[in-house]
Amino acid sequence: MRSLNYSRLVSRQSRRFARLRNLIPQMPFSYAVHKELNLVVSTGTDCVSWKEIKASQDHTQTDPTFHPLFDQIIDLRAVTSFDMTTEQVRVLARRAIFSLTSKRALVASSPAIFGVGRMWKMFTDLSDNPSQIRVFYDLSSALMWLGLETLPTPMKSEPKCMKTQQSCPYLFL
């Protein structure tokens, strides 16, 4: 009777799974520009890292449909945690992507995520480019502050995957 080499079999299956997993776009942090509303909608899910937010900021800044005068809503209601240090939050918050007059609303549903949003606001307020940031627990208050009734539908401007810069098949509501 022939014995199986389980470690080799598991390794082969792991490689197959890894190849399949890479075909599905991973999108813990995405954005969509709604030029007709002068609005950027950024959305986070699960654990969001420093690299993902930085990549999103870089792509937003170079997106031809983006303008620094646009407002932004950052929907963090589905974020469970952040993988970044306080120093990394400070660096990201101090980057000059939006103008001084832009309104930027962060929406968080948990106290921990809300606290990171407040820290982001504090670092932005202390920067050379202090855009108007408010942190909210509920989406309706954030939308009201931005002068909106609802989030725009993603079909008008689909979220961009940070890995491929192509449109992703995910809805972010």
Query: For the chain, which residues make up each domain, given as ranges?
Result: 28-146
Q: CA 54, CA 40: separation in Å to the nearest integer?
A: 15
25-34, 111-120, 157-166 — which is least confidently predicted?
157-166
Q: What is the mean pLDDT of the chain?
A: 79
Tokens of 134: 């408010």
Q: What is the mean pLDDT of residues 92-105?
A: 92
C-alpha closest to that of 106 among 159, 17, 29: 29
Helix axes 50-62, 86-93, angle to 10 degrees: 10
Q: Is the pLDDT of residue 3 over 50?
A: no
Q: What fold does the segment set 28-146 form as a domain?
A: Transcription Regulator spoIIAA (3.30.750)
Residues 165/33, Cβ–Cβ less than 8 Å: no
Work out the pLDDT band at 154, boundaries 50, 70, 90. low
- Please, are residues 133 and 120 in contact by the beta-carbon 8 Å criterion? yes
Q: Is the pLDDT of residue 103 over 50?
A: yes
The Cα–Cα gap between 168 and 82 comes to: 22
pTM score, two decimals? 0.72
C-alpha to C-alpha distance for 61 and 165, rounded to whole angstroms: 13
| Residue 173 pLDDT greater than 50, yes or no | no
